[in-house]
Amino acid sequence: MSGLGMMLTAAILLTAAPLAAQETRFPATLDEAYTGRFTIELFPAEGGGRIHRDWGDAEILFVSGEDGTVEFITRGEDDEGSGFEVSVTLTGDDDGIWRSLAGDGIARIDAAGRVLSASHSDGFDLFWSGEIGMEKGSLTFRRIPTASAPAEERDITAIFSIEVQRPRPEPKPEPDAETEASGGDGGCERIEWRLVNRWDPWGGGLSLEREPFCVN
């Protein structure tokens, strides 16, 4: 039995007012996904021990919207192919707080990336907590059924634990000695010869070789 297969896709769309004129520090990046893994655990809604656990890939993304708003998207897909997506539209204020207010819930992310959200959708109470920093994020998402939840899901509480990291840019390749020595990038002021350990392609292990290096 797939834990996510038992659950309907959750989509929370909370609209908000335009972004305040003062620029805030959060989110750290726009239109660049934090990626990682999530764990889902299912429990009886009335209490008791865990009845199921599953894992999958997770993604958190902040997408720039109209009028200075930002859409906070969390999505995941378990290892069996079932998925979920939660979306909240946020706006920033002069205090660096990103928030969204609606008739059935509230979402809030402060300038340090601390997340707190409570809302209701399709018969479920939905709660977010955690933190999203400059390089990584850790969130907990609780999906608790109410009396109006679908009958097949009314007895199950789901808890998602999400751990993601912001992708690091790929390092630029180091220029080889010939490029450095020739000043191929136009920035070499002089060269100097240095002893470098190199593997002997004909066998015999390491050997010291004199090679030119660019010095600026």
Question: Domain limits of the chain?
Answer: 4-165, 177-215
Residues 6+ apart with CB under 8 A from 133: 28, 112, 113
Q: Dump pLDDT digits (tens) for 116-150.
A: 998 888 899 999 999 998 889 999 999 999 999 99
Name the superfamily (CATH) of residues 4-165: Calycin beta-barrel core domain (2.40.128.20)
| Chain position carrying tokens 């939905």 | 126
The pair of three-digit structure tokens given for residue 96, joined into one six-digit string: 């660096």
pLDDT for the residue 163: 96
Q: Dump pLDDT digits (tens) for 177-206.
A: 445 444 455 556 777 777 666 655 545 555
User: One-letter amino acid identity for 10?
Assistant: A
Q: 0.95 cut: is pTM over it?
A: no
* pLDDT band of 88, cuts 50, 70, 90: confident
The angle subtended at Cα 27 by Cα 23 and Cα 108, nearest 5°, is 95
* pLDDT band of 38, cuts 50, 70, 90: very high
* Three-state secondary structure of the chain: CCCHHHCCCCCCCCCCCCCCCCCCCCCCCCCCCEEEEEEEEEEECCCCCCCEEEEEEEEEEEEECHHHCEEEEEEEEECCCCEEEEEEEEEECCCCCEEEEECCEEEEECCCCEEEEEEEECCEEEEEEEEECCCEEEEEEEEEECCCCCHHHCCEEEEEEEEEECCCCCCCCCCCHHHHHHCCCCCCCEEEEEEEEEECCCCCCEEEEEEEEEEC
